[in-house]
Amino acid sequence: MLYKSTFGTGEDLVLLHGWGFSGRIFNNLIEEYSKKYKITIIDLPGHGKSSQINDYQSWYKEIIKILPSNSIIVGWSLGGLLAIKIATEIQLKKLVLIAASPKFIQDKDWQFGIDKEIFLNFAESLEKDPIKTLKRFISLQSNSKDKLKKIKNTIESNPPTLDGLKNGLEILMNYDLRKELSLIKSNITVYLGEKDTLIPKEIKTWYESKGVSTFILKGGHAPFLNENFYI
């Protein structure tokens, strides 16, 4: 069963977090937007307070079951990839992607991804020492020591399960939603991190070739921690 919590009043706004984290990563956005929106935070399977769902292909289906109708979805990183998949299944009022890509793995016709060997090594490292691997991943989110400390605290209070982390990596390694993104009828906006080492800002040209409004924010892979953005 997936855990969700709700804050504020107004239009329905759903926040989907990234790999290894929980909805608590969005605390600053809740404070910023809860006076305008009814915000729903959902912990992904095996993350935060949500139960594990071993079939990673059904993650998005479980999220859809608890989504408010005609909502705005903000998806960050892995949450963004899932949000793209959700938008191919149901009508959303708006889709906002932060440091997200329809395909995380690089190949001969996709230069905006991560080398698959790096992902495989990461998965192997996760198996051997999940805590060390997660800490290494946290260090990629921001250059600010203060912000990294806050990020670390959000994870330590609600740590993900090893199976949740493994299944999340499976989604990141196997989903290729480039064609699906082109068919989405919802309004889409993308925000990228200027210093992101996982999703390069150069992907902006690909998004814009698909007619998607794309903006560059300050910071790394979690730019919403450094700069507010318009929903």
137, 143, 146, 148 alpha-carbon torsion, rounded to 10°: -10
Residue 196 catalytic? yes
Q: Do residues 222 and 25 touch, judged by C-beta distance below 8 A?
A: yes
- 12, 43, 186, 221: the active-site residue: 221
Residue 115 catalytic? no
- 22, 50, 77, 101: the active-site residue: 77
Q: Which strands form 94-98's sheet, in the order they lie side by side?
A: 4-7, 37-42, 11-16, 72-76, 94-98, 187-193, 213-217
Residue 142 catalytic? no
- 17, 50, 186, 196: the active-site residue: 196
From CA 22, how far away is CA 145, in angstroms rounded?
20
Parallel, antiparallel or unpaired: strands 4-7 and 37-42: antiparallel
Catalytic residue positions, numbered: 77, 196, 221
